[in-house]
Amino acid sequence: MIYLDNAATTPVIPAALEAAWPWLTTQFGNPSSTHELGHAADQALEKARSSVATFFGCKASEVVFTSGGTEGDNLAIIGLSLAHPRGRHIISVRTEHEAVLKSVEYLKRVHGFEVSWLPTNHAGEISLEDLRQALREDTTLVTVMVANNEIGTIHPIPEIAELAQKFGALIHTDAVQAVGWMGLNFPLLNVDALTISGHKFGSPKGSGATIIRSRLALEPLIHGGGQEFERRSGTENVAWAVALATALENLSPTNEEFTRVHTLRQQFIETATQNIPEAQLSGSVANCHPAIVGFTFPGLNGETLLLELEQRGIIVSSGSACAAGSDEPSHVLMACGFSEDQARTAVRFSFSHSTTSDELHQAANALRESVETLRQLGRG
Percent of the chain as helix, strand, coil, to the nearest 5? 45, 15, 40
Q: Binders of ligand PLP: how many residues, by CB under 6 A?
A: 16
Least Å distance, CB 336 to ligand PLP, is 16
Instruction: Check if the beta carbon of residue 16 is closer than 8 Å to that of residue 250.
Output: yes
Smallest distance, Å, CB 199 to ligand PLP? Answer: 6
Choice between 62 and 73, CB closer to ligand PLP: 73
Residue 200 beta carbon to ligand PLP: minimum distance, rounded to whole angstroms: 7
Contact between 10 and ligand PLP (CB under 6 A)?
no
Find the helix or strand (DSSP H, E) in which 66 lies.
strand 63-66
First to last CA, the chain: 24
Comparing CB distances to ligand PLP, the nearer of 179 and 269 is: 179
Q: At what angle do helices 302-311 and 357-377 cross, to 10 degrees?
A: 120
Q: Say which DSSP state 293 is in.
A: E
| Alpha carbon distance 251, 165 (integer Å) | 31
Nearer Cβ to ligand PLP, position 100 or 364?
A: 100
By Cβ distance, which residue is nearest to ligand PLP?
Answer: 69
> For residues 126 and 135, which CB has a smaller minimum distance to ligand PLP in the complex?
126
Among the listed residues 49, 84, 89, 97, the single contact to ligand PLP using CB under 6 A = 97
Angle (CA) 291 190 319, round 5°: 30
Segment interacting with ligand PLP (CB under 6 A) among 174-182, 262-270, 271-279, 354-362: 174-182
58 catalytic per annotation? no
Contacts of 98 (CB under 8 A, 6+ apart): 320, 322, 323, 331
**Residue 177 sits in the site that holds ligand PLP (CB under 6 A):** yes
Contact 119, 90 (CB under 8 A): no
Angle at 74 between CA 345 and CA 326, to 5 degrees: 25
- Catalytic-role residue among 58, 288, 322, 336: 322
Q: Shortest gap between Cβ of 168 and ligand PLP (angstroms)? A: 26
- Compute the least distance from the CB of residue 292 to ligand PLP, in Å: 10
DSSP 3-state of 196: strand
For the segment 114-173, give every residue that binds ligand PLP (CB under 6 A).
Answer: 145, 149
Least Å distance between CB 138 and ligand PLP? 27
Alpha helix ranges (H) inside 97-218: 98-111, 128-134, 157-166, 186-189
Q: Give the one residue of 176, 194, 276, 292 binding ligand PLP; rule: CB under 6 A.
A: 176
Q: Distance between CA atoms of 288 and 349, rounded to whole angstroms?
A: 13
Q: CA-CA distance, 20 to 14, in Å (whole number)?
A: 10
In this complex, which beta carbon is closest to ligand PLP, that of residue 145 or of residue 163? 145
Residues 63-92 as x/- pattern, contact with ligand PLP by CB under 6 A? -----xxx--x-------------------
Question: 281-320: which residues touch ligand PLP (CB under 6 A)?
Answer: 320
By beta-carbon proximity to ligand PLP, the closer residue of 208 and 329 is 208
9 or 33: CB nearest ligand PLP? 9
Q: Which residues between 211 and 270 bind ligand PLP (CB under 6 A)?
A: none
194 vs 171: CA distance, rounded Å: 9
Q: Single out the residue of 81, 92, 197, 282 in contact with ligand PLP (rule: CB under 6 A).
A: 197
CA distance readout (Å), 50 to 62, 149, 207, 269: 10, 28, 16, 40
Q: Which of residues 341-370 bind ligand PLP (CB under 6 A)?
A: none
Q: How far is the CB of 266 from ligand PLP (least distance, A)?
A: 23
Amino acid residing at 204: P
Q: Which residues are catalytic?
A: 322
Residues that bind ligand PLP (CB under 6 A): 68-70, 73, 97, 99, 145, 149, 174, 176-177, 197, 199, 208, 320-321
